[in-house]
Amino acid sequence: MARIAPGRLRPLRGYNSPFSLPLIILVVLWSVSVWSQPLVIRHITVIDATGRAAEPDMSVVIDGDRIVALGPWKKIHAPKDAVTLDGEGKFLIPGLWDMHVHGASDNRAPWSHLLFLANGVVGVRDMSGPPDARAWRATQASAPAPSPTVYLGSPIVDGQNPVWPNSIVVANAAQGREVVDQQQQRGADFIKVYSKLSRDAYFAIANEANKIGIPFEGHVPESVTAAEASGAGQRSIEHLTQVALGSSSEEEASIAELQRLEAQFRAPGATMAQKMEAGRGIIEVNTRIVQTFDEATARSLFALFIKNGTWQTPTLSLLQGQIDDPLDTNDPRLKYLSKEVRSKWDDGYYKHYPPGPRAALAELSKAQFDESMKIVGLMYKSGVPILAGTDTMNPHCFPGFGIHDELALLVDAGMSPLAALQAASRNAAQFICQLDRRGTI
């Protein structure tokens, strides 16, 4: 797998046509500002992301923040007072969406907004939102700096022993229902579910969310299978959580074994030696899950995803990042990161592990990444709906630049260049039910 090529905003690897930076910026400008005069771009090649082939020599007329005309340049009349640009040799694509980000709605990385916009990212799905989405939007409305549109999740909803400190912890079914109601009232666009939820809590959340009509999206908890999550109506699965497990011929045995090892690891009074042994066991089972990948099993799981409308955001950038190669300190994109983020990136993913387990985790991540590439290719061929997301703010996942890395990875995994582009444009709009006004040209 080719490493991320640093140094510039790259054309999407594998695409026949390079998209130029100025043009991407232009698309962004349309989306964030209202021009006083109409703008006409002539002789441009349009890739509209509807699925149509590239159309050369087109004219586009923009009035205010809307495209009002599009067609072969000879047929389009430019308004009298329009500003005209020559698009010869350039390409027009829809604004991009990064469908898995963190830090866009809190104070950790307000600087990331400009990086998104400068890279043509006009919208993001924030996967760990503020406690009160409505209050956040009110503050945001008066913020002077331009920002991408944010499709905003609830805070992470997790079980006991949550993975992240700012999560909402849900211990049982009643609390699960309560959080769903509260977050809907506070204006969250969706409920973000996470890895440590118990089965009871998870299925209560699913039931309540379906009842009151708010989507739930996120990780498939470790206590639940991917097929069950799909059946329960989870709208998107992130990072292929539990998907490799559900594609293994040993799913049931592996779940039981992982639960036993997890309990051993967490047992009160467990010695360091016992914890180390459990940790080694967990890595072994996960390696075995990769080795027992079974295509027929995977295909029947994917058929369920299609039947239930379960979207996938593989975040291949994250999965590749977790191999934990050292940062390329010559990568000029690093200079845009804040000090705090940079120091986390320098630490990498496994800083707190001793060298042995650390190497084992990196090796497992490599095997899992290779398997994920295979799974994404197969999902694409099977017709599973796919979204492009980076999990940015995690090491190796650049805000803004990163979506271009993700599109290149999706193409490497076997998606057509057009399908990859749609995963970050048309599909995103469809996913948030705004295809009538976004996602295509």
Chain positions contacting Zn ion, by CB under 5 A: 127, 391
The residue (of 62 and 244) whose beta carbon lies closer to Zn ion is 244
The residue (of 127 and 408) whose beta carbon lies closer to Zn ion is 127
The residue (of 294 and 340) whose beta carbon lies closer to Zn ion is 340
352 CB-contact burial (10 Å; exposed 0-12 / middle 13-18 / buried 19+): exposed
**Residue 87 is encoded by which pair of tokens?**
């698009």
The residue (of 121 and 127) whose beta carbon lies closer to Zn ion is 127
Determine contact, residues 192/155, Cβ cutoff 8 Å: yes
E strand residue ranges, 22-148:
39-46, 55-63, 66-72, 83-86, 91-92, 96-101, 121-126
DSSP string, 296-317: HHHHHHHHHHHHHT-EEE--HH
**Residue 256 is encoded by which pair of tokens?**
């039981």
Q: How far is the CB of 283 from Zn ion (least distance, A)?
A: 22
Determine contact, residues 263/336, Cβ cutoff 8 Å: no
Q: How far is the CB of 389 from Zn ion (least distance, A)?
A: 8
Task: Estimate to the nearest angstrom the gap between the alpha carbon of 259 and the chain centroid.
Answer: 28
Which of 279, 265, 262 has the alpha carbon at shortest distance from 364?
A: 279
The residue (of 167 and 297) whose beta carbon lies closer to Zn ion is 167
For strands 83-86 and 91-92, give the pairing.
Answer: unpaired
Cα dihedral 321, 327, 328, 332 sign: positive
**Would you call 253 helix, strand, or coil by DSSP?**
helix
| Alpha-helical regions (H) of 348-399 | 355-382
Determine contact, residues 38/60, Cβ cutoff 8 Å: no
**Residue 57 is encoded by which pair of tokens?**
């020599």
**Residue 148 is encoded by which pair of tokens?**
């991408």
The residue (of 26 and 127) whose beta carbon lies closer to Zn ion is 127
Q: How far is the CB of 116 from Zn ion (least distance, A)?
A: 16
Q: How far is the CB of 163 from Zn ion (least distance, A)?
A: 10
Q: How far is the CB of 101 from Zn ion (least distance, A)?
A: 8
Q: How far is the CB of 391 from Zn ion (least distance, A)?
A: 4
Q: How far is the CB of 387 from Zn ion (least distance, A)?
A: 13
In the chain the first and final C-alpha atoms are separated, in Å, by 32
The residue (of 98 and 391) whose beta carbon lies closer to Zn ion is 391
For strands 311-313 and 236-238, give the pairing.
Answer: parallel
Determine contact, residues 216/234, Cβ cutoff 8 Å: yes
Q: How far is the CB of 180 from Zn ion (least distance, A)?
A: 20
Q: How far is the CB of 142 from Zn ion (least distance, A)?
A: 28
Q: How far is the CB of 400 from Zn ion (least distance, A)?
A: 16
> Which residue carries 């990769």 as its tokens?
290
Residue nearest to Zn ion (CB): 391
The residue (of 389 and 417) whose beta carbon lies closer to Zn ion is 389
CA-to-CA distance for 346 and 338, rounded, in angstroms?
A: 12
Task: Estimate to the nearest angstrom the gap between the alpha carbon of 70 and the chain centroid.
Answer: 30
The residue (of 30 and 369) whose beta carbon lies closer to Zn ion is 369
CA-to-CA distance for 144 and 29, rounded, in angstroms?
A: 15
Which of 239, 231, 184 has the alpha carbon at shortest distance from 206?
A: 231
The residue (of 163 and 171) whose beta carbon lies closer to Zn ion is 163
The residue (of 248 and 313) whose beta carbon lies closer to Zn ion is 313
